[in-house]
Amino acid sequence: MATRDSVWNEMPAINRDLLAPLLTISARYLALVAGLATLVAAGAGVWLYQIETGIGQTNMHPPVFWSSYIASFVYWIGVSHSGTFISGVLRLTKAEWRRPITRIAELMTIISVMIAALCVFFHLGRVWRWYYLLPYPNQRQIWPDFRSPLMWDATAIFTYATASTIYLYLPLIPDFALARDRVGGWRQRLYALLCLGWKGSQQEWETLNTAIRIVTPLIVMVMVSVHSIVGWDFGMSLVPGWHTSIIAPYFVVGAVHSGLGMVAIGLYVVRRTYRLEGYIRSEHFDKLGKLLVVTTLTLAYLYFADQLTVWYGKKPDEMAILHSLVAGPYAVPFWTMIVLIYVGPLVLLTAPSFRAWPAGMMLMGVGINVGMYVERALIIVPPLTHPRLTYQWSDYFPAWSELVILAGALAMAVLLYVLLAKFVPLISIWEEKEGRLHAASR
Amino acid sequence: MSDAEDKRPYRWGMVIDLDRCTGCEACVVACHAENNIRISGEAEAAQGRAINWIRIERYWEGEYPNVSAKFMPVLCQHCDNAPCEPVCPVYASYHTPDGLNAQVYNRCIGVRYCGNNCPYVARQFNWFDPHWDPPLEEQLNPDVSVRQNGIMEKCTFCVQRIRKAKEQAESEGRRVRDGEIVPACVQTCPTSALVFGDRNDPNSRVSILAQGDRGFHLLESLGTDPAITYLKRLS
Amino acid sequence: MPPLDELEVHGLFSGDVDVATLCERLRQTGVREEQIHVLSPIPLSSRASDCIGSVPFYRITIGAGIVGIGVGIFFAAGTAVMYPLMTGGKPIVAAPVVGIISYETMMLVAIVMTFLAMLVRIKRTNSTIRSRDVRVDDGRVAVTVRVTMLGSIAGAVGDAMEQAGAIEVQSSIIPSGRESVSPSIRRAASLLLPLLMAGFPSGCSQDMQEQPSYQAQEVPRRHSPPGSVPRESRRLLPMPVERNEPMEEAGPRLFHINCVHCHGEQGEGDGPVAPFLKERPANLKTEKVRAMSVEAIYRAVTDGRDMMPSFKGELSAGERLEIARFVASLSRPSVAHQGGEEDR
């Protein structure tokens, strides 16, 4: 059991360990960056081709007007809930085990929100007129229509992106000051700018804590509203299978589910790459696993409630969709999804020994995210391919151009994360020190 | 005509007599010609992207050899409670005081929410730029915009003909007469299955036919309140 | 009296120093609370109820939230009222929509203002502290006291620190004079500017500009009605034009091509386009036109007049003069438009 004294004495070691990722650039790192940049360039090239020739490069056709790009948008917004949930909710509940995880998760949040916005741009038919969505006075005397759920989306995601960036930045200020004193070169000038001249006086700490304590509940409320509003993009429509009141809570819980899975992946990768086993311990994976059990059960409950209603009510438009999922053309992705996001986590994560196995948790995270992506796609496509007028029934599978563009987007997300890892200490240094001191004082 | 009648707004509507419709698709062709609809080509049509502002939906009933075909023309219903209008984030789709569901081409940014939300799948999207081999571009209607890629489009009740007739009537100081406005599909239908007119005028053919016993609305339970009344097939 | 130079005394302590006792001892030497700063790598207390001036932070948040609600109401309700368009039978000002948008804008403004308030407060606080000991983050607590150079208070402070167990005590002189605007703010501003000027190349798109619609004064197309004359061609086409009377003179011919659509065949202001215009074209046979000289009519054709466009770009000066002479003759039936007759 560490004593207060020993915690104070190990602070230089903590600084060294947690700043080490910033200081070294290995050949493997450069190779990774080069590979990701190539993928991003490929995606960008295909996207430009799509802008030039038209959305017809995808496989969309009436009645399937929305497909993989919107599925990706919903998925990435879902992943972005990881940071806010872990940072915000665990701060509110004063859970001490959040400390090494918050920075990793918050970085994931802002990157995911950016990629989600990018997916919307992929989807727009006339993306060069995207600024029609901005509310500003203009000579055409026209404003966007706020009655559209997409404008609620735009407002909510803008709020969420701004709030998340602020929320990432707030606890970073003392860490930037620390880094400024120990890291040289062009980064030092940026750190000096961003740390606001932080000295570490008690007044500054109180100001920072006040700001964090005020923003935390606000951002948790924003988090709940954001994915509800994304769910209402579907819920407000008349499409059978979309127009269900459970869609908002379902999307929020699903977002936390996939976000936690992504955090498990990030934790494992960071721990393994930078040898941070002393900081990211099996207890963190264990607690994460328990949270995942809660989200799995909740999500399964909401999904079952929704589908039970459809199955029992036997309305033809909705039954057609349920049938196509369970035993029809979409059966394979559907049952894969069920295993990946419900059955697998429930079976494996209830075993404490599995939860404490970092590599296993990482694989679980991958499985959950793949499953959640398939789930988003299955929410969008089967209802659209089965409209009420059965003459228009159709099918859909993504085109190669869509897959390349979305792979480029994923590569962009990883690339941004990898680049930011050389600028931002991946574990919040002062919070880690504070946590150890609290643990020693008890 | 009294003053009150003069000031009364128009409310355009259509009646489609399913008993008279033979499924010949002349209306489809006429609409293409009138509204500068782009040629999709064989490959795209196979993908389901053939643009038809009006289409004949055909359903088969029974088993061979006792099969019968049921068909009905489906076009934009110009619903009073159109689900496609409020979901457009940029006001490219709105309801005119005349009762038309208007689509503003140069405002559309191609979000395609409206396409999803139309329960009749009446909306179409320009997946690519249009192209006509010469000399086909000579036959384009100068009264109708040519839509580039990325823009949603759909039946407008031939709004260019409506506007021309209204301007003519206004310059002559009178209201539009019943039967003066003939959209392309109505004009071409060989059996006069399609009738167009002012629903606000109780004496127009549209109003009288719509009140008949055979009248029904498509997907009426959704509450979209369409402007098109179908007359049930009897034979 | 000019401001005096000041001295900053810093003492470095081990992490678990008793800060309360130390501060008490320092106050006994005569320094005030505001002159003492305790620098630590982690917050030493969990106090979190800061104020700006006398306004607690949470009041700033609440006030900003209310402003945010107002912003939301402006966007969701105000813009709808300014530009009322009926869509899908929904009300122009829809309460649930206003609620959702206002909720989000309330959160946005509240969070951003709280952040900005924190920023201001932190900059204000730490601008009075000069030194930052790197070793603080390694697990030390530093205490800095700002005193004037006069008197022995600096010494007393140093002694008090050493008695409390300081690992190291140092003093540094702070020259008087205003602190310049923090270079960090200037750097921040210089980053913003290029970002803001990154402009939107989106506006350069040309889509929807090529249309089959007829443009003003456009070259007639292959399918144009007989009698149409291309704009560029100022000479007669070999195409014969069907008319009741042969046209020998330039004046009537040009009038027929360029003026008849508005002013009518007889020049009485009843051309086919006339009913669609906001102002009726002039009846050229009236007193008013008779009172105009040929030169005045020429000027009207050249420069335009009220709703009538200018024909300077369409017709040459000679052609415009011929038209002016012909128009003059319309209102003076007694004057025959024979070529060469002076009529000024």
pLDDT (tens digit, 9 = 90+) per residue, A151-196? 999 999 999 999 999 999 999 999 999 999 898 888 999 999 998 9
Which residues of chain C make contact with B97, given a CB cutoff of 8 A?
Answer: 86
State the best of B51, B74, B116, B153 to mutate against chain A, taking most chain A CBs within 10 Å: B116
Among chain C residues, CA nearest to B97? C86
Chain A, 257 to 296: residues with Cβ < 8 Å from chain C are: none
Residue C343: predicted pLDDT: 44
Chains near B (3 or more Cβ pairs under 8 Å): A, C
Are C7 and C149 in contact by the 8 Å Cβ rule? The answer is: yes
Q: CB count, 10 Å around CB of C219?
A: 12
Structural domain span for residue B197: 3-231
| Interface contact flag, A125 B111, Cβ < 8 Å | yes
Low-confidence ranges of chain B (pLDDT < 50): 1
| Interface contact flag, C104 A174, Cβ < 8 Å | no
Domain C1-41+139-176, CATH 3.40.50.2300 — does that match? no
Is the pLDDT at C201 greater than 70, yes or no? Answer: no
Are B228 and B79 in contact by the 8 Å Cβ rule? The answer is: no
| Interface contact flag, B142 C213, Cβ < 8 Å | yes
Residue C199: predicted pLDDT: 47
For helices A202-235 and A68-79, the axis angle rounded to 10 degrees is 150
Q: Name the 3-class secondary structure at C241.
A: coil
Please tell me which residue, C183 or B17, carries the higher pLDDT value: B17
Find the DSSP H helices in A327-357: 331-338, 344-349, 352-355
Among chain C residues, CA nearest to B148? C208
| Interface contact flag, A208 C122, Cβ < 8 Å | yes
Q: Which candidate from B84, B140, B151 shows the least CB-CB separation from C212?
A: B140
| Interface contact flag, C104 A196, Cβ < 8 Å | no
Which residues of chain B make contact with C200, given a CB cutoff of 8 A?
Answer: none
C192 vs A: CB within 8 A? no
For residues C249 and B119, give the distance between their C-alpha atoms in angstroms, rounded to a whole number: 65
**In whole angstroms, what separates CA C277 from the centre of its chain?**
36
| Interface contact flag, C87 B137, Cβ < 8 Å | no
Percent of chain A whose pLDDT exceeds 90 = 86
Location of structure tokens 């407008």: B156
Are C136 and C40 in contact by the 8 Å Cβ rule? The answer is: yes
For residues C39 and A203, give the distance between their C-alpha atoms in angstroms, rounded to a whole number: 9
Chain C, 14 to 43: residues with Cβ < 8 Å from chain A are: 14-16, 37-43
Is the pLDDT at C73 greater than 70, yes or no? Answer: yes
Is the pLDDT at A314 greater than 80, yes or no? Answer: yes
Rg (alpha carbons) of chain C, rounded to whole number = 43
Q: What is the pLDDT of residues A393-410, one digit of tens each?
A: 999 999 999 999 999 999
Q: What is the mean pLDDT of residues C64-90?
A: 93
Which residues of chain B make contact with A390, given a CB cutoff of 8 A?
Answer: 59
Q: What is the pLDDT of residues A271-286, one digit of tens each?
A: 999 999 999 999 999 9
B221 vs A: CB within 8 A? no
CATH code for position B89: 3.30.70.20
Of A124-128, A337-341, C107-111, minimum mean pLDDT range: A124-128
Q: Count interface pairs A-C at CB distance under 8 A.
A: 209
Q: Name the 3-class secondary structure at C48.
A: coil
Q: What is the largest CA-CA distance in chain C?
A: 124
Q: Name the 3-class secondary structure at B226.
A: coil
Percent of chain A whose pLDDT exceeds 70 = 100
Exposed, middle or buried by CB within 10 Å (0-12, 13-18, 19+), for A440? Answer: middle
Q: Which candidate from A12, A142, A434 shows the least CB-CB separation from C83?
A: A142
| Interface contact flag, B113 A126, Cβ < 8 Å | no
Residue C148: predicted pLDDT: 78
Q: Which candidate from A62, A151, A154 shows the least CB-CB separation from B115?
A: A62
| Interface contact flag, A199 C138, Cβ < 8 Å | no
For residues C149 and C145, give the distance between their C-alpha atoms in angstroms, rounded to a whole number: 12
Please tell me which residue, A211 or C209, carries the higher pLDDT value: A211
Is the pLDDT at C243 greater than 60, yes or no? Answer: no
Are B69 and B60 in contact by the 8 Å Cβ rule? The answer is: yes
Q: Which candidate from C212, C214, C276 shows the least CB-CB separation from B146?
A: C212
Residue C228: predicted pLDDT: 57
Q: Which candidate from C58, C94, C187 shows the least CB-CB separation from A193?
A: C187
Is the pLDDT at C159 greater than 50, yes or no? Answer: yes
Instruction: Give A265's contacts (C-beta < 8 A, 6+ positions apart).
Output: A362, A365, A366, A369
Which residues of chain A make contact with B39, given a CB cutoff of 8 A?
Answer: none
Residue C205: predicted pLDDT: 73
Q: What is the mean pLDDT of residues A128-148?
A: 91
Mean pLDDT, chain C, integer: 79
Cα separations in angstroms, C282 against A173, C274, C289, C321: 76, 10, 9, 18
Q: How far is B104 from chain A (nearest CA, A)?
A: 12
Is the pLDDT at C27 greater than 90, yes or no? Answer: no
Cα separations in angstroms, A186 against A19, A191, C172, C185, C339: 16, 9, 28, 17, 86
Chain C, 101 to 140: residues with Cβ < 8 Å from chain A are: 101, 103-105, 107-108, 110-112, 114-115, 117-119, 121-123, 125-127, 129, 132, 134, 136-139
| Interface contact flag, C39 A199, Cβ < 8 Å | yes
Paired tokens of A210: 């006040």
Task: Band the pLDDT of A430: cuts 50, 70, 90.
Answer: very high
Is the pLDDT at C181 greater than 80, yes or no? Answer: no
Are B152 and B124 in contact by the 8 Å Cβ rule? The answer is: yes
Q: CB count, 10 Å around CB of B127?
A: 24
Q: Which candidate from B86, B142, B150 shows the least CB-CB separation from C88?
A: B86
Which among B230, B226, B224 is positioned nearest to B86, based on CA atoms? B224
Is the pLDDT at C260 greater than 50, yes or no? Answer: yes
Task: Band the pLDDT of A115: cuts 50, 70, 90.
Answer: very high
Which among A309, A274, A234, A306 is positioned nearest to A22, based on CA atoms? A274
Strand B228-231 and strand B12-17: pairing? parallel
Q: What is the pLDDT of residues A365-387, one digit of tens each?
A: 999 999 999 999 999 999 999 99
Q: Count interface pairs A-B at CB distance under 8 A.
A: 133
Residue A265: predicted pLDDT: 95
Q: What is the mean pLDDT of residues A81-105?
A: 91
Paired tokens of C146: 């700002």
Q: What is the mean pLDDT of residues A207-228?
A: 94
Q: Which candidate from C83, C211, C275 shows the least CB-CB separation from B146?
A: C211
C14 secondary structure, DSSP code: E
Cα separations in angstroms, B129 against A50, B38, C167: 12, 9, 77
Burial state string for B141-167 with b = 16 or more CB within 10 A and e = fewer than 16: bebbbbbbbbbbbbbbbbbbbbeebbe
Q: What is the pLDDT of residues A3-62, one digit of tens each?
A: 888 888 899 999 999 999 898 889 999 999 999 999 999 999 999 999 999 999 999 999
Which among A176, A197, A196, A171 is positioned nearest to A187, based on CA atoms? A176
Number of independent structural domains in chain B:
1
We find that the CATH architecture of domain C250-331 is Orthogonal Bundle (1.10)
Task: Band the pLDDT of C251: cuts 50, 70, 90.
Answer: confident
Q: Which domains does chain A have, with CATH numbers?
A: 68-129+143-172+219-398 (1.20.1630)
For residues A316 and A328, give the distance between their C-alpha atoms in angstroms, rounded to a whole number: 15
Which residues of chain A make contact with B152, given a CB cutoff of 8 A?
Answer: 125
Q: What is the pTM of this model?
A: 0.87
Is the pLDDT at C340 greater than 50, yes or no? Answer: no
Of A183-187, C88-92, C188-192, C252-256, minimum mean pLDDT range: C188-192
Mean pLDDT, chain A, integer: 93
Residue A257: predicted pLDDT: 95
Is the pLDDT at C239 greater than 50, yes or no? Answer: no
Residue A355: predicted pLDDT: 93
Which residues of chain B make contact with A68, given a CB cutoff of 8 A?
Answer: none
Q: What is the pLDDT of residues A408-427, one digit of tens each?
A: 999 999 999 999 999 999 99
Predicted complex ipTM: 0.93
**DSSP letters along C174-221, please?**
E--SPPPPPHHHHHHHHHHHHHHTT--GGGG--TT---SSPPTTPPPP
Paired tokens of B63: 């088993």
So where are chain C's domains?
A: 1-41+139-176, 45-134, 250-331
Is the pLDDT at C237 greater than 60, yes or no? Answer: no
